[in-house]
C-alpha cells in the first residue's frame, strides 16, 4: 500500500512537470541538466531529472543546504497537509512579509523540494515525494512551535473556582434590578458586584467579570426575565456536573458569542485542546497562533463557524488568484482562531510573562485533575464547611462541589468574595428561597447539612417568623380552575394534575402553574375532565440539552526532530566551494552572474550544473534614476503575469502586487497595482519608486 501511494505521489509530481508551458519547463531542466538539445522528449527529460534526484550525492547536498527557515516552511507544508499559500501566509504572518514568503516558496519550488497541485479547485503545496524521505527527519511540530522558558508567576487576580461560580449564582438569585433593558449592568449592579468581588478594582477586573457574565448568559445559565437576569436552575445543575477544566472551557467558548450546541461543543473542545498543548515553558503569541491553526487542522471536523456574530468561513467568499493560486477562506479562519485565542488570554486561562504564555495555575491544576486517573484534589463534601454566626453572617470554606453548594446559595446571599467568602442569611434571602418552593423545614435541613454545629435558636426562630410573614400575604400568577362539587374528587386525586397544583383557593377553586393554554387543555383532558378550551398560543418550553463531554488527548505531540539543519558556517562553506569552482571556469560575466544567482538560491547542488550555456539572461530589477529600466521590468511583469515588489526608500515598507497596467506620460508613468494580500488597487508613480523588482514567476504554476 505504501509503495502504491509513493508511486502515485511520484506520478503526480511528474504530471505537474508535464503541464508546465515550454518556457518554464526548459528553464527548470536547464538549471539541473544543462542545455537541452533537439530533438527532445519531455517524458525522457523528466526521467533524467528524476534520476538526478535519485543520486545520493545530489540529495545529500540538497538536504545539507537547507536553512532553518527552509525547514520551518517545509515543516508547515508537511504538517498542515496540502496548505494553500493563503494559509501559509496566515501561519507565518509574524515571521515573513507577504513578499518574503512568496519568494521563499518560489525558491523551494525551483529547488524541487515542493510543488503545487490542484485540489478542490485550489492550488496547494506538496513535498516532492522523491526528496520527502530524506528531509522528513528534519521536520517536526517542534520546529514550528519552539517552547519558551517561562519564569514568571502563574497566579491571576481571580480564580474561577466552584465557590466563585456559586457566589455568582447567589448574586443573581437574590439581587434584582441589576441590569438595564438591553441586558447590560446598571451602575448600581456594577457597584454591587465591585463591592462583592475585590478583583474588580484591579486592572482587567471589570473586563474579566464582563466576559464571565457574557459567557453565563450565552450558556443560558443566566436567563433574561424582563430587564433582569436570573439563574436557570436546571442549566446550573448541568453546569455543576462538569469538572473544573471542562466548565472553564465551555465558559471561555461561550464568552466569544452565542452558539448552537454543536458549535459550542466545537469551540469548547478547541479551547481545551489548545490549552492542553501548551508546554510548561510556554509559547510566544505567534507560536500560540500557529498552534491554534494546527489544532484546527487536526480536529476531527474543521473548526468553522456558522453564520452569526462571527462570519461564516465557507460561504459567499469569492476566491482571488495569486500567481495561479486561488485564495480560499484561510484568512477568515485565522481571524476566528485569533478571536478565540485572545478570549482565552483575556479570561486568564493562559497568562503571560516576558512575551511567553503558559497555563494559569488554577487552570493547569484543573487540567491535571481532568486527565488524572486518581482525580486528586477533587471537590469534597459540603458538610462542616459552613459557619453560621450570631449576627446572621455565614462563612463558607472553599472546596465543596458546585452541585452541593447550589441549594445553599438559594438561601445565603453573598456579601464579600474573599479567601473565605462571606454570606448572610436574611429575611430577603429566605424570601427568595420561599419563592422557589422551599419551606422552613427544607431550609433548616440544607443549612444543617452544611454546618458543623447545630443551628442556633435565633436562626431557627427567625426562619419560622419569616415564613409566617411570607405566607401572610401571597400573590399568585397562574391558571384558576373552578369545578362543580361532583368533580372535585377527580381534581384532588389526579396524579396528572398534582405536580401543577399551586394552591386550593376555595372549595372547588384551584390554582395551577400551567405553561400555556395548550398544556392546560391537554392535562385537563388526561385527568378525565371533559374540558374543551381554545388553544390561544403554541408556545413550548424546551429543556436545555446537557453539556457534552470534551475529549482528552487532543493535544499535539510535540517532539524534537531526528536531525537539525547544518550550522550556517558549514552551509556557507558548501556555497563557497561552488563559487570557487565557478571562478575556475572563467565564463563570460553574464553567464557567471546567472550561475552565481543559482548558487545563492541553492539550486546548484552538483558542480556539473555550472554550465554557462544553460544561462538565459533576463533583467528582473531596476532602481534609482533608471526610469526606462523600471518601465522595462514592469512591462515584462505584465506580459508574464508576474508580481512586482516596490519600495520608495530604504525606510519605507515594501509593497507587493500584480501590475494591472501602466500609463506612460511625459517624464513619468503611472502604474496600477493590485496590492497583496488585501487586493486593493493602488496607483504608483514609477519615477518616484526607488526600487522595482519583478518577483520570479513560479516554476510550478497553474497554466
pLDDT of amino acid 700: 54
Q: Is 583 a domain residue?
A: no
CATH number for the domain spanning 632: value is: 2.30.30.100
Residue 56: band (very low, low, confident or very high) from pLDDT cuts 50, 70, 90: very high
Q: Are residues 37 and 117 in the same domain?
A: yes
Predicted local distance difference test score (pLDDT) of residue 312: 35
Q: Are strands 501-506 and 509-512 parallel, antiparallel or unpaired?
A: antiparallel
Overall average pLDDT of the 144-169 stretch: 89
pLDDT greater than 60 at residue 532: no
CA distances from 488 to 27, 59, 520, 531, 555 (A): 99, 95, 17, 14, 64
Residue 299, pLDDT score: 61
Burial class of residue 588, CB neighbours in 10 A (0-12, 13-18, 19+)? exposed
By the 10 Å C-beta count (0-12 exposed, 13-18 middle, 19+ buried), 562 is classed as: exposed
User: Band of the pLDDT at 392, cuts 50, 70, 90?
Assistant: very high
Assigned domain for 296 exists: yes
Judge if 24 and 92 occupy the same domain: yes
Shared-domain flag, residues 534 and 677: no
Residue 692 bridge partners (DSSP): 622, 646
Run of H or E including 480:
strand 479-482
Q: Cell 428561597 identifies what position?
A: 433
Percent of the chain clearing pLDDT 90 (strictly above):
45
Q: What is the pLDDT of residue 164?
A: 96
Grid cell, residue 483, equals 369545578
The Cα–Cα gap between 680 and 684 comes to 13
| Digit-coded pLDDT (tens) for 245-281 | 999 999 999 999 888 889 999 999 999 999 999 998 9
Using alpha carbons only, how large is the chain's radius of gyration in Å? Answer: 35
With b for 16 or more beta-carbon neighbours within 10 A and e for fewer, the 665-690 pattern comes to eeeebebebbbbbeeeeeebebeebe
- pLDDT in the model for residue 559: 67
Are residues 216 and 343 located together in one domain of the fold? yes
Whole-structure pTM over 0.95, yes or no?
Answer: no
Distances in Å between the Cα of 361 and the Cα atoms of 157, 366, 368 are: 11, 9, 11
Residue 699 clears pLDDT 50, i.e. is over it: yes
Q: Residue 271 falls within a domain, yes or no?
A: yes
- pLDDT over threshold 70, residue 223: yes
Task: Please check whether residue 114 lies inside any domain of the structure.
Answer: yes
Q: 377 lies in a domain?
A: no
Q: Among candidates 31, 23, 21, 24, which has minimal Cα distance to 614?
A: 31
Instruction: Pick the more confident residue, 302 or 158.
Output: 158
Angle at 602 between CA 601 and CA 608, to 5 degrees: 120
| 351 pLDDT higher than 90 | yes
Q: Where are the alpha helices (DSSP H) in 358-450?
A: 361-371, 402-409, 427-435, 440-450
Q: Which letter does DSSP use for residue 380 in this model? A: B
Q: Which helix (H) or strand (E) holds 70?
A: helix 68-80
- Name the domain boundary from 457, 472, 487: 472
Which residues constitute the domain of residue 192? 162-371
Last residue of a domain, one of 553, 578, 595: 553
Let me know if residue 511 belongs to a domain.
yes
498 shares a domain with 437: no
CB count within 10 Å of CB 373 equals: 5
> Is there a single domain that holds both residue 466 and residue 487?
no
Of 379 and 586, the one with more pLDDT = 586
pLDDT at residue 550 is higher than 90: no
Q: What digits encode the pLDDT tens for the residues 294-313?
A: 888 766 554 443 333 333 33
For the segment 447-474, the average pLDDT, to the nearest whole number, is 89
Whether residue 489 sits in one domain with residue 440: no
Check residue 143 and report its DSSP letter: H
pLDDT at 23: 75
- The rounded distance, in Å, linking the Cα atoms of 108 and 301 is 31
Average pLDDT over residues 568-576: 95
Q: Do 316 and 212 sit in the same domain of this protein?
A: yes
Average pLDDT of the chain to the nearest whole number: 84
Q: What percent of the chain has pLDDT over 70?
A: 88
Q: Say whether both 129 and 181 belong to one domain.
A: no
Confidence bin at 423 (pLDDT 50/70/90): very high
CB 293 within 8 A of CB 333: yes
Choose one of 320, 342, 371: the last residue of a domain.
Answer: 371
Shared-domain flag, residues 331 and 192? yes
Sheet containing strand 283-284, edge to edge, reads 283-284, 356-359, 350-353
The whole-number average pLDDT for the span 135-140 is 93
Q: Going by C-beta distance under 8 Å and a sequence separation of 6 or more, which residues neighbour residue 349?
A: 248, 252, 271, 275, 359, 360, 363
pLDDT (mean) for 547-567: 74
Give the pLDDT confidence score for residue 543 in this predicted structure. 66
Model pLDDT, residue 130: 96
Q: Clarify whether residues 49 and 121 are in a common domain.
A: yes
Tell me: do 243 and 304 sit in the same domain: yes
Mean pLDDT of 26-53: 89
Q: Which residue has the higher pLDDT, 618 or 83?
A: 83
**Overall domain count for the chain:** 5
Report the C-alpha gap between 38 and 80 in whole angstroms.
42
| Exposure on the CB side of residue 679, measured as CA atoms within 13 A | 9
**pLDDT band with cut points at 50, 70 and 90 for residue 323:** very low
- Reported as a pLDDT band with limits 50, 70 and 90, residue 417 is very high
546: confidence class by pLDDT, cuts 50, 70, 90: confident
Domain assignment present for residue 23? The answer is yes
Is 60 exceeded by the pLDDT of residue 533? no
Of 237-251, 329-343, 538-552, 661-675, give the range with the top mean pLDDT.
237-251
Looking at the predicted structure, is the pLDDT value of residue 458 above 80? yes
Omega of the bond leading into 558 within 30 degrees of 0 (cis):
no
Residue 381 lies in a domain: no
For 632-664, the pLDDT digits (tens) are 999 988 887 788 889 887 667 778 888 999 998
Q: How confident is the model at residue 465 (pLDDT cuts 50, 70, 90)?
A: very high
Amino acid at each position: 500500500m505504501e509503495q502504491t501511494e509513493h508511486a502515485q505521489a511520484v506520478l503526480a509530481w511528474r504530471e505537474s512537470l508535464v503541464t508546465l508551458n515550454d518556457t518554464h519547463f526548459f528553464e527548470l531542466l536547464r538549471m539541473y541538466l544543462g542545455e537541452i538539445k533537439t530533438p527532445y522528449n519531455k517524458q525522457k527529460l523528466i526521467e533524467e531529472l528524476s534520476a538526478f534526484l535519485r543520486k545520493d550525492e545530489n540529495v545529500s547536498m540538497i538536504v545539507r543546504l537547507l536553512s532553518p527557515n527552509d525547514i520551518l516552511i517545509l515543516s508547515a507544508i508537511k504538517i498542515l497537509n496540502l496548505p494553500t499559500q493563503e494559509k501559509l501566509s496566515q501561519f507565518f504572518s509574524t515571521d515573513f512579509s507577504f513578499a518574503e514568503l512568496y519568494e521563499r516558496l518560489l525558491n523551494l519550488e525551483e529547488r524541487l523540494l515542493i510543488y503545487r497541485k490542484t485540489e478542490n479547485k485550489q492550488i496547494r503545496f506538496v513535498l516532492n515525494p522523491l526528496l520527502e524521505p530524506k528531509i522528513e527527519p528534519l521536520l517536526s511540530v517542534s520546529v514550528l512551535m519552539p517552547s519558551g522558558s517561562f519564569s514568571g508567576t502563574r497566579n491571576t487576580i481571580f480564580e474561577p473556582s466552584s465557590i466563585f461560580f456559586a457566589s455568582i449564582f447567589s448574586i443573581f438569585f437574590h439581587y434584582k434590578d441589576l441590569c438595564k433593558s438591553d441586558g447590560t449592568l446598571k451602575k448600581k449592579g456594577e457597584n454591587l458586584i465591585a463591592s462583592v468581588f475585590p478583583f474588580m478594582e484591579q486592572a482587567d477586573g471589570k473586563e474579566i467579570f464582563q466576559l464571565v457574565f457574557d459567557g453565563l448568559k450565552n450558556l443560558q445559565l443566566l436567563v433574561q426575565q424582563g430587564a433582569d437576569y436570573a439563574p436557570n436552575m436546571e442549566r446550573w445543575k448541568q453546569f455543576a456536573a462538569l469538572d473544573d477544566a471542562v466548565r472553564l472551557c465551555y465558559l471561555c467558548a461561550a464568552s466569544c458569542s452565542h452558539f448552537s450546541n454543536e458549535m459550542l461543543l466545537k469551540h469548547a473542545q478547541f479551547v481545551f485542546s489548545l490549552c492542553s498543548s501548551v508546554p510548561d515553558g510556554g509559547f510566544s503569541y505567534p507560536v500560540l497562533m500557529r498552534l491554534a491553526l494546527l489544532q484546527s487542522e487536526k480536529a476531527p471536523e474543521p473548526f468553522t463557524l456558522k453564520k452569526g456574530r462571527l462570519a461564516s468561513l465557507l460561504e459567499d467568499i469569492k476566491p482571488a488568484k495569486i500567481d495561479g493560486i486561488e485564495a480560499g477562506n484561510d484568512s477568515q479562519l485565522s481571524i476566528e482562531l485569533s478571536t478565540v485565542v485572545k478570549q482565552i488570554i483575556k479570561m486568564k486561562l493562559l497568562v503571560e510573562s516576558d512575551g511567553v504564555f503558559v497555563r494559569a495555575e488554577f487552570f493547569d491544576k484543573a487540567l491535571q485533575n481532568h486527565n488524572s486517573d486518581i482525580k486528586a484534589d477533587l471537590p469534597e463534601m459540603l458538610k462542616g464547611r459552613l459557619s453560621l454566626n450570631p449576627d446572621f453572617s455565614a462563612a463558607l470554606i472553599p472546596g465543596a462541589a458546585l452541585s452541593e453548594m447550589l441549594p445553599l446559595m438559594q438561601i445565603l446571599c453573598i456579601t464579600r468574595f474573599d479567601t473565605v467568602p462571606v454570606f448572610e442569611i436574611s429575611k430577603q434571602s429566605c424570601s427568595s428561597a420561599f419563592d422557589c418552593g422551599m419551606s422552613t423545614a427544607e431550609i433548616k435541613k440544607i443549612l444543617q447539612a452544611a454546618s458543623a454545629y447545630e443551628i442556633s435558636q435565633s436562626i431557627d426562630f427567625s426562619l419560622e417568623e419569616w415564613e409566617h410573614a411570607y405566607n401572610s400575604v401571597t400573590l399568585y400568577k397562574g391558571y384558576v380552575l373552578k369545578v362543580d362539587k361532583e368533580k372535585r374528587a377527580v381534581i384532588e386525586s389526579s396524579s396528572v394534575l398534582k405536580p401543577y397544583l399551586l394552591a386550593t383557593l376555595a372549595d372547588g377553586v384551584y390554582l395551577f402553574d400551567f405553561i400555556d393554554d395548550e398544556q392546560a387543555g391537554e392535562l385537563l383532558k388526561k385527568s378525565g375532565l371533559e374540558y374543551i378550551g381554545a388553544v390561544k398560543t403554541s408556545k413550548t418550553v424546551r429543556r436545555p440539552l446537557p453539556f457534552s463531554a470534551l475529549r482528552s488527548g487532543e493535544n499535539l505531540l510535540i517532539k524534537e526532530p531526528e536531525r537539525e539543519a547544518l550550522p550556517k558556517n558549514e552551509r556557507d562553506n558548501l556555497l563557497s566551494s561552488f563559487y570557487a569552482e565557478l571562478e575556475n571556469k572563467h565564463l563570460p560575466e553574464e553567464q557567471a552572474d546567472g550561475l552565481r544567482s543559482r548558487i545563492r538560491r541553492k539550486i546548484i547542488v552538483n558542480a556539473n550544473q555550472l554550465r554557462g550555456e544553460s544561462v538565459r539572461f533576463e533583467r528582473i530589477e531596476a532602481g534609482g534614476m533608471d526610469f526606462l529600466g523600471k518601465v522595462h521590468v514592469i512591462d515584462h511583469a505584465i506580459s508574464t503575469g508576474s508580481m512586482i515588489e516596490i519600495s520608495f526608500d530604504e525606510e519605507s515598507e515594501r509593497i507587493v502586487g500584480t501590475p494591472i497596467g501602466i500609463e506612460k506620460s511625459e517624464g513619468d508613468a503611472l502604474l496600477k497595482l493590485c496590492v497583496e494580500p488585501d487586493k486593493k488597487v493602488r496607483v504608483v508613480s514609477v519615477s518616484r519608486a526607488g526600487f522595482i523588482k519583478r518577483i520570479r514567476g513560479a516554476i510550478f504554476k497553474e497554466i
